[in-house]
Amino acid sequence: MIREEHPPLSEYLDEAVQRYNTPDFIPNDPLSVPHRFVQLQDREITGFWTATLAWGQRKTIIQSANRLVELMDGAPHDFIVNHVEEDRARFLDFKHRTFQATDTLWFLEFLQQFYRKNLSLEHAFARHLQPGDTNVEPALTGFHRDFFDHPYAPQRTRKHVATPERGSTCKRLNMFLRWMVRNDTAGVDFGIWKTIRPAQLLIPLDVHVERVARRLGLLRRKQTDWQAVLELTQNLRAFDPEDPVKYDFALFGLGVLENKKAEFWG
């Protein structure tokens, strides 16, 4: 049972969304990296890669993502589509925590093969969704299978692209989808994908969101897993069934931005 506050929890969360879903949120967040770009594909590539690297200190995440942009000559889509094998040598020294050269090279390979055949990365997710699907679980599962559908796909890279099939919270992919799909007037999320609906999105469940959600009675499941993501998102739908993941701003903001010591992402 969701615990009600004074004011009601819905009003409390809506007020927090208004407080944090503003352009002031962008500069110190990894989302600042795709915000450097205007072209859809550049935002997709940098958003996907930045979200993948999103664990650790936010400052370090941003630095690593910007380093990738530099290695792609500041033009991600053009580089991805047109680079040759020799150009990949410059990436051999790139690493972010456990994301190493092997992972980087596979990302380059997948993205190049995909963008040489497709206009938008949205297709890699949306092609797995049916009109009646209530959430993006099939999209995440299908994307993971496609991403590693090659005999040379490195086994070690699988830990960097999560899937609900393994019970993962899929925090980074859900965050990436929020960036691409949510569309409002705040100017933080891009809203550049139109096939996936905001109502189908699921909450990016990191340690801070989880802590606040449990404190507010929005999450009861003991395990931090895929079922916890479904439970929390379902409870948030009670406040806004068409855009439940907007409350990521509230839960994350209350968990991190109002606690200056909490600068670490899980």
Q: What is the pLDDT of residue 7?
A: 65
Q: What is the pLDDT of residue 257?
A: 66
Q: What is the pLDDT of residue 131?
A: 82
Q: What is the pLDDT of residue 197?
A: 96
Q: What is the pLDDT of residue 262?
A: 38
CA 172 remoteness from chain centre: 4
Q: Which amino acid is at 2?
A: I
Q: What is the pLDDT of residue 5?
A: 43
Q: What is the pLDDT of residue 238?
A: 96
Q: Exposed/middle/buried for 260, CB within 10 Å: 0-12, 13-18, 19+?
A: exposed
Find out whether 186 and 162 touch, Cβ atoms under 8 Å: no
CA distance 14 to 61: 28
Q: What is the pLDDT of residue 56?
A: 87
Q: Measured between alpha carbons, how far is residue 15 from residues 11, 179, 249 in Å? A: 6, 20, 10
The ranges assigned to domains in the chain are 9-265
Maximum CA pair distance of the chain?
A: 61
Taking 50 as the pLDDT cut, the residues of the chain under it are 1, 4-5, 260-266
